[in-house]
Chains A and B, each alone.
Chain A
Amino acid sequence: MKIYVPLDSAAKALGADEVADAITQEIAARGIDAEIVRNGTRGMIWLEPLVEIEQDGERLAYGPISEGDVAALLDGKIETLGKVEDIPFFARQTRLTFARCGITDPLSLSDYEAHDGLKGLRRAIGMSQDAIIDEVKTSGLRGRGGAGFPTGIKWDTVRLAHAPQKYIVCNADEGDSGTFADRMIMEGDPFTLIEGMAIAGLGCGATKGYIYTRSEYPDAVAIMRRAIEIARDAGILGDDVLGSGRAFDMEVRVGAGAYVCGEETSLLNSLEGKRGTVRAKPPLPALEGFLGRPTVVNNVISLATVPVIFAEGAEHYANFGLGRSKGTMPIQIAGNVKFGGLFETAFGMPLGELVNDVAGGTASGRPVKAVQVGGPLGAYLHPDQFETPFGYEEFDGQKALIGHAGIVVFDDSADMLAMARFAMEFCAVESCGKCTPCRIGAVRGVETLDRIKEGDASAIPLLEDLCEVMVDGSLCALGGFTPYPVLSALRHFPEEFAAQKEAAE
C-alpha cells in the first residue's frame, strides 16, 4: 500500500505535514505495511491536503484531510473522491506541462523516467542545434512569463551569437499575485525544468544555467537544489550530458524580495550581484545578457514545457490552442473562488467559463464583480468581458493581458478605487527607480487617486494623462503596465470613481 501526501507548500500551508506525521504514527501503531510518498500537488488546492491511497493497483483520493481525520481515513470511514483523474476539475484539463505533477515523487528519478521523463532530452541529443530550434519554433511555444515572445526565435538569437560562454537563465521570480505555477512545478516536478533547461543549453550552445527564484519560496529552492544534485549524480547534468559529450550544468540563485527582479534585465543585474534595476533594451539579453554574454531568459513554465514538446513532437503540442496562442496554459485560479488551483488547458477557453464553471464562482457565494488576470500589472476584467477567449491576442484586444495566467476573482464587496490605488502603491514600493514615469508616476498616481476619492472629479483626466505617460515612457512592464489595472478599474467601474464626490459631500 502506498499513501500519497503532497509536499507542495500550499498543501503544507493547509496541514499536509501534520497529516503525514499522523499517518506515519498511525500506520506504525496499527502495524500496517504502507509506504508514505510525498508527491507534488495535483493542483486542486481546495481539496488539500489531498491524500491518495494506492492499493491493488487503484489509487483513490480523499480530501481535504485534516490531522484529526487520519484514524477514520485508515479505518476506511472516509468516503473517497474516487480517482483524481475522474474529478471534474481535473478531468477536463489537458495536462502536458504538468502531466507528472502530483503523480510522482518529485525527487525520484525513476518515477520521472517511468512517466516519460528524459525522453525529450534523449531525442534532443540526437538532433542538430538547428533542428532543436526548429522544433521549438514549430511548437509555437511563446514566453509563459507574460510577454508571449516566441521562444524559438529567442533561442535562435542566442544560438547565432558568437561568444566564449552563453547562458540559460530561468526566470523563476514568480511575484505576481494569483500565480503559483512556477512554484508548483519546481516543488512537484523539478526534473522537467532541469530537462528543459538542458535541452535549451544543447540548442543554443550554452553550458551553464541559472534558476533565479524567490526567497519567499524556500521549499521550491530546497527541492530544486536537491533535484539538481540528483540529476548531476545521474549524469543528466555535468560535463557529459547523458553521454552526449556535451556539457550543461546549473544552479539555483535566490532573489531578495524585489518584485521588479522578475523583469528579465533587472533579474540579470540581480544575478550579477547588482541593484535590480532595469536595463534599457537594446542590447537584448539574447546578445548581451548575464555578464554581458548571450543569454536565454525564459520563464519556468516555458522551459518546463520544452521536454513534452520534444517527447511528443512539436506538431502534437501545436495542435492544441487557438490562433497564435498554441499549446496549453497552466491557468492559476485564485482569490475568491470556490475551486481554486491549477487548471492546465489549451488556449481558447472563455474567461467566463473559467470563472463561473471551472472555478465555481466565488467562495463567498456573492456575485463576481471583477477578475484580475495577469498579476498586479494585469487589467481588471468585468463580467461583460467574460466571452473573451483565453489567448494572448484576444486579451490584448480587451486592453488586458494574460501575463503568467493567474486569475484573481473578486466578489461585489471589492472596492475598485482601492484596488486601483493599491496598483499604484505597489508600483511605488517596487519601482527600481531607474525611469521617471514609474518612479515618480506611481507616487503621483496614489496622490491623484486619493484626490478622486475625496471627490475631486478633475483629477480623473489627470490620472488618465499620467497613465498615458507611464505606458509610453516607462522602461519596463512595471511602470508600463501598472496603468492596466488602474485604467481598467476606471473604465469598467466609473461609478466608483465618480460617486465618491456625493459620498464625500
Chain B
Amino acid sequence: MPTHSESDAAIAEILSAHAHLEGPLLPMLHALQEAFGFVPAEAHEPLCKAVKITRAELKGVLSFYHDFRDHPAGKHVLKICRAEACQSVGGTAFAEDLLAKLGLEWHGTSPDGKLTVEPVYCLGMCACAPAVMLDEKLIGRADTARVEKAIAKVSA
C-alpha cells in the first residue's frame, strides 16, 4: 500500500500528464483507476482543481459511468455478457449457472478478494456467444467449465 504522500505524488503526476488534453477528465479517471484499481477519494480535490469543476460535478461524472469504482475490485474481474446475442444461445442460463458455481451475485466479490463478477452489455463477440472477459482476456463460446478453468489459471 503506498503511503499518503506517495499516492498524492502519483495522483499529481497522473493529472499533470493529462492536463494538456482537450476534455481531460475521462483520461485522468481511467489513468487513476489503472494506477490504483479505483478512483481514490484523495484524488477528488486535485481533480476538481485540475479541470475546474465542482465536487458535485465530479461526483456526477463518477456516478454516471459504470466503469469507475470508488473502492478496489477483486484481484481479477470477470465480465459476463448479458446482451441479446448471448441470450440467443443460452447466455442467461449460462450466467446463472456460472454465478451459482462461483457462489457470487452480480457485482459481487469473492470473500478472498480474488474475483469480482460484473455484467456487461456486449463484448462484440456476438458471432461466438456467449462471451465473458476475464481481466482483458476474452472467452468466446464460453461454458462454465472453460471459465472456471480460466479463473483457476489466473488465480494460481
Partners in one complex: yes
Q: Give the interface of A toward B (CB within 8 A).
A: 9-10, 12-14, 45-46, 48, 174-180, 183, 208, 215-218, 253-259, 270-277, 290-291, 332-337, 340-342, 363-364, 372, 376, 406, 408-411, 414, 419, 422, 426, 429-430, 432
Kindly list 19 other residue pairs between chains A and B, CB separation below 8 angstroms, not including A178-B84, A215-B30, A270-B26. A10-B128, A10-B140, A13-B128, A13-B138, A177-B83, A216-B120, A256-B65, A257-B66, A258-B64, A273-B23, A335-B126, A340-B126, A342-B127, A376-B83, A406-B85, A408-B84, A419-B87, A429-B121, A430-B121
**Chain B interface size, under 10 / 10 to 19 / 20 to 34 / 35 or more:** 35 or more
State which residues 51-90 of B face A: CB under 8 Å.
51, 57, 60-61, 64-68, 79, 83-89
In order of increasing CB-CB distance, the 7 nearest A-B pairs are A273-B25, A340-B127, A13-B140, A177-B83, A334-B126, A256-B65, A257-B66
- CB pair A218–B136 under 8 Å, yes or no, is yes
What is the CB-to-nearest-CB distance from B104 to chain A, in angstroms, rounded to a whole number? Answer: 19
Smallest CB gap from A218: residue in B = B136
> Quick check: B125 and A13 within 8 Å, CB to CB?
yes
Q: Which residues of B contact A (CB under 8 A)?
A: 22-27, 29-30, 51, 57, 60-61, 64-68, 79, 83-89, 120-129, 131, 133, 136, 138-141
Contacts of A275 in B (CB 8 A): 60-61, 64
Which residues of B lie under 8 Å from residue A254 when comparing CB positions? 26-27, 30
Known contacts A291-B23, A340-B127, A409-B88: A276-B65 contact under CB 8 Å: yes
Knowing A10-B124, A178-B85, the reply to whether A334 touches B129 (Cβ < 8 A) is yes
B128 and A422: CB pair below 8 A? Answer: no
Nearest CB in chain A: distance from B87 CB, A:
7
> Nearest Cβ distance between residue A182 and chain B, in whole angstroms?
8
A409 to B86, CA, bound (A): 11
Contact A335 B129 (CB under 8 A): yes
Could you tell me the distance between the alpha carbons of A43 and B25 in the complex, rounded to whole angstroms? 36
Chain B hits for A363, CB < 8 A: 89
**In whole Å, how far is A446's beta carbon from the nearest beta carbon of chain B?**
15
Closest to B60 in A: A275
Contact B87 A422 (CB under 8 A): yes
Please determine whether A175 and B68 come into contact, CB atoms closer than 8 angstroms: no
Across the interface, do A48 and B88 meet the contact criterion of CB distance under 8 Å? no
| Contact (Cβ within 8 A) B124 A179 | yes
In the complex, the answer to whether A177 meets B122 with C-beta atoms within 8 Å is: yes
| Given known A-B contacts A218-B136, A257-B65, A291-B23, A45 and B124 have beta carbons under 8 A apart | no
Q: Which of B65, B88, B136, B141 contacts A258 (CB 8 A)?
A: B65
Inter-chain residue pair count (beta carbon < 8 A): 153
Return chain B residues, CB-CB under 8 Å to A364: 89
Distance in Å: Cβ of B16 to nearest Cβ of chain A: 16
Asked whether A215 and B67 contact (CB < 8 A) given A335-B85, A408-B85, the answer is yes
A276 proximity list for chain B (CB < 8 A): 64-65
Shortest distance between the CB of A336 and any CB in chain B (Å): 4
Q: How far is the CA of A426 from the CA of B85 in the complex (A)?
A: 14
A256 vs B68: C-alpha distance when bound (angstroms): 7
With contact pairs A275-B60, A408-B126 given, residues A335 and B84 touching in the complex (Cβ less than 8 Å): yes
A197 CB to closest chain B CB, in angstroms?
16
Known: A215-B67, A273-B24, A334-B126. Contact between A14 and B84, CB under 8 A? no
A259 near B127 with CB under 8 A, answer no
